[in-house]
Amino acid sequence: MAHSPNALMIRKLDSIFSLSDEERQVLGSLPVQVATFKPDRDIVRIGDRPSQSFMVLQGFTCVYKLTAEGKRQIVAFHVPGDLPDLQSLHLKVMDHSVATVSACTLGFIPHEALYDLCNRYPRITAALWRETLVDASIFREWMTGIGRREAYNRMAHLLCELLVRLKAVGVAEDETFDLPVTQTELADAIGASTVHVNRVLQELRADGLIRSRGTQIQILDWDRLKEAGDFDPLYLHLRQDGKA
Amino acid sequence: MAHSPNALMIRKLDSIFSLSDEERQVLGSLPVQVATFKPDRDIVRIGDRPSQSFMVLQGFTCVYKLTAEGKRQIVAFHVPGDLPDLQSLHLKVMDHSVATVSACTLGFIPHEALYDLCNRYPRITAALWRETLVDASIFREWMTGIGRREAYNRMAHLLCELLVRLKAVGVAEDETFDLPVTQTELADAIGASTVHVNRVLQELRADGLIRSRGTQIQILDWDRLKEAGDFDPLYLHLRQDGKA
DNA sequence: CGCTGCTTTGAATTCTGTCAAGACGTGTGG
DNA sequence: CCACACGTCTTGACAGAATTCAAAGCAGCG
């Protein structure tokens, strides 16, 4: 299932602008170093000054921050095809940490190579910039949920988002997907306690919106889940056909 | 007090990279259309497809989203020197709305002019890109607060952030600044109810952390306010000297 | 089979929201 | 110059969402 990192990148950027042959070629020859990580490992830490960014090739990663009290907030999940750490290209010091959630395969690309790329291909710059803007849009949506929606609805919203994003990169089909994320991590993502996430998931099941077996999540009633989550995919800025 | 829009932009970007004379000149000749807005007016709305971005020259603006239930979450405040709507350069459809909070003077710049600029000056592209990344960093910090800190601490955090940001652009000096924002708006920003914001502000006053007279906020005990807010300015990505 | 980590339950507590009403302040109009 | 109106701020009482603490099931894995 592990795509070639370069192929994944090309596919991603190509879906935004139609890349020229030259652009494809340059992207194809980017030096990418592939590495695997176990679940729950920090990839970059707050305070670090990374000299490379990476693309998720397999698995789930998350971006998180800790409060002084030691509470954790996950501010983003990233799935195959995402570039969770692009911002380190222009913000030298990490203001957050990035970690694996499941076991992951990652493709690291030196900043140098990206700078070079950006200097020569403004359209690729724009595409990468756009990626970071979509991330920011998702932050806004999550913040709105955490600030103004109840836990039940936030959970529904998160499940909607994940299904749509996973479908967009072809990692999910139909209404089922693998969610290798513990309830504690879900809690950190929606800003609730583990106990409460547990109860909210039970409610979603009882209401017939979802079903789960192990880490598999099945959406039983997409329309009602969408409504419960107040989910409108506009903020994901996907193309009309729902592809990334 | 209204700076020339171009001068403000040059100053901002110059503080990130030292601009060359040519870059200064190009920025100085950007076509900027200045307009004034009354308080509480939408500047761009969700669903719009703007053909220009703008810089705040005077006043406060906010970025907000509404839930299906009609609740509002303010996800960002913007102050003079900020470019609240830069992302519309690459994300065609607005996923949120932007509005004035106080009366504002804004400088609009056509996207066309910005595209042109970016195609010719990669360093300016990088500086603008960086602006949007700092916005995203602030989203992450706010999300962490809303998800994991209590209202009292979020309020303290917000006041810390505003003081630092206003100082960075020279709109605040010492420990006092003008906050032309109602308690309802503060509530929408920290994800709390108006009533609760009122009580939290009273607590902050009672604890001797702040004082307020009208819209003027005075920080009485910066160290304790910082601690209460769990505030570390790292995420603002300012230069060492605290300038924007 | 026994860890270890994750999920599930129950009960008590606390933070925060909602509702409703009154106080305050400023600008307008008579 | 005073009365009035409107928006904002402030208070009190109550309800509800969600947290915390604690303990008991479960499941996968060596």
The whole-chain average pLDDT of chain B stands at 93
Mean local confidence (pLDDT), A35-49: 96
Band the pLDDT of A159: cuts 50, 70, 90.
Answer: very high
Band the pLDDT of A174: cuts 50, 70, 90.
Answer: confident
Please give the helix or strand (H or E) that residue B203 lies within, else none.
Answer: helix B194-206
Burial degree of A38 (CB within 10 A; 0-12, 13-18, 19+): exposed
CA dist., res. A140 & res. B107, Å (int)? 24
Residue nearest to nucleotide C16 (CA to C1'): B196
Q: Is the CB of residue B151 inside 7 Å of nucleic acid strand C?
A: yes
DSSP 3-state of B7: helix
Mean local confidence (pLDDT), B35-44: 95
Q: Report the DSSP beta bridge partners of residue B212.
A: B217
Burial A51-62 (b: 16+ CB within 10 A, else e): ebbbbbbbbbbb
**What is the secondary structure of B53-74 as a DSSP string?**
EEEEEES-EEEEEE-TT--EEE
Nucleotide with smallest C1' distance to residue A191 CA? D18
Strand D footprint nucleotides (protein C-beta < 7 Å): 7-13, 17-22, 28
Task: Give the residue from chain A lying closest to B132, CA to CA.
Answer: A133
Strand C footprint nucleotides (protein C-beta < 7 Å): 5-11, 15-20, 26
pLDDT digits (tens, 9 = 90+) for B205-218: 999 999 998 899 99
Q: Is the CB of residue A121 inside 7 Å of nucleic acid strand D?
A: no
Kindly list the residues from chain B whose CB atom is less than 8 angstroms away from the CB atom of residue A237: 91, 93, 95
Contact partners, residue A207, CB within 8 Å, separation at least 6: A224, A228
Check if the beta carbon of residue B17 is closer than 8 Å to that of residue B126.
Answer: yes
Q: Which of A43-57, A170-184, A213-227, B7-21 has the lowest mean pLDDT?
A: B7-21
Structure tokens at A86: 């692009």
In the Cβ-directed half-sphere of B69, how many Cα atoms lie within 13 Å?
13
The letter for the amino acid at A178 is D
The 3-class secondary structure across A192-235, one letter per residue, is CCHHHHHHHHHHHHHCCCEEEECCEEEECCHHHHHHHHCCCHHH
**CB atoms inside a 10 Å sphere around CB A19:** 20
| Order of all β-strands in the sheet with A52-58 | A33-37, A104-110, A52-58
The gap between A205 CA and D29 C1' (Å) is: 28
Check if the beta carbon of residue A220 is closer than 8 Å to that of residue A163.
Answer: no
Q: What angle do CA B33, B39, B45 make, to 5 degrees?
A: 65
Q: For B5-142, which CATH class?
A: mainly beta
DSSP state of B86: G
Task: Give the residue from chain B lying closest to A73, CA to CA.
Answer: B144
Decide if A5-142 and A150-236 have a common fold.
Answer: no
Mean local confidence (pLDDT), A73-98: 97
**CB atoms inside a 10 Å sphere around CB B213:** 8
pLDDT digits (tens, 9 = 90+) for B66-91: 999 999 999 999 999 999 999 999 99
CA dist., res. A121 & res. A199, Å (int)? 50
The gap between A198 CA and C8 C1' (Å) is: 8
Mean local confidence (pLDDT), B195-203: 98
Distance from CA of B214 to the nearest CA of A (A): 27
In residues, how long is chain A?
244
pLDDT digits (tens, 9 = 90+) for B126-174: 999 999 999 999 999 999 999 999 999 999 999 999 999 999 998 888 8
Structure tokens at A171: 């990692």
Burial degree of B79 (CB within 10 A; 0-12, 13-18, 19+): buried
Question: Does residue B19 carry a pLDDT above 90?
Answer: no
Structure tokens at B91: 């994300």
Band the pLDDT of A1: cuts 50, 70, 90.
Answer: very low
Band the pLDDT of B92: cuts 50, 70, 90.
Answer: very high
Distance from CA of B138 to the nearest CA of A (A): 10
Q: Is the CB of residue A178 inside 7 Å of nucleic acid strand C?
A: no
Q: Is the CB of residue B191 inside 7 Å of nucleic acid strand C?
A: yes
Give the phi and the psi of residue B74 in degrees, each rounded to 5. -85, 120
Q: Between 3.40.50.300, 1.10.10.10, 3.40.50.2300, 2.115.10.20, what CATH number should domain B150-236 receive?
A: 1.10.10.10
Q: Is the CB of residue B218 inside 7 Å of nucleic acid strand D?
A: no
pLDDT digits (tens, 9 = 90+) for A181-207: 999 999 999 999 999 999 999 999 999
pLDDT digits (tens, 9 = 90+) for A208-220: 999 998 899 999 9
Check if the beta carbon of residue B34 is closer than 8 Å to that of residue B57.
Answer: yes
**Residue that wins the pLDDT comparison between B195 and B6:** B195
pLDDT of residue A35: 95
DSSP state of B209: S
The percentage of residues in chain B with a pLDDT greater than 90, rounded to a whole number, is 82
Mean local confidence (pLDDT), A161-169: 95
Structure tokens at B235: 């995420």
In residues, how long is chain B?
244
DSSP 3-state of A187: helix
Question: Does residue A242 carry a pLDDT above 70?
Answer: no
The gap between A195 CA and D24 C1' (Å) is: 14
Mutate to test the interface with A, among B44, B72, B140, B197 (most CBs of A within 10 A): B140
Structure tokens at A242: 């729902």
Nucleotide with smallest C1' distance to residue B215 CA? D8
For chain A, the domains span 5-142, 150-236
Burial degree of B203 (CB within 10 A; 0-12, 13-18, 19+): middle
Distance from CA of A227 to the nearest CA of B (A): 9
Nucleotide with smallest C1' distance to residue A152 CA? D17
Distance from CA of B18 to the nearest CA of A (A): 15
CA dist., res. A148 & res. A232, Å (int)? 16
B125/A65 Cβ within 8 A: no
Band the pLDDT of A3: cuts 50, 70, 90.
Answer: low
**CB atoms inside a 10 Å sphere around CB B167:** 18
The gap between B74 CA and D13 C1' (Å) is: 29
**Residue that wins the pLDDT comparison between A108 and A6:** A108
Question: Does residue B1 carry a pLDDT above 50?
Answer: no
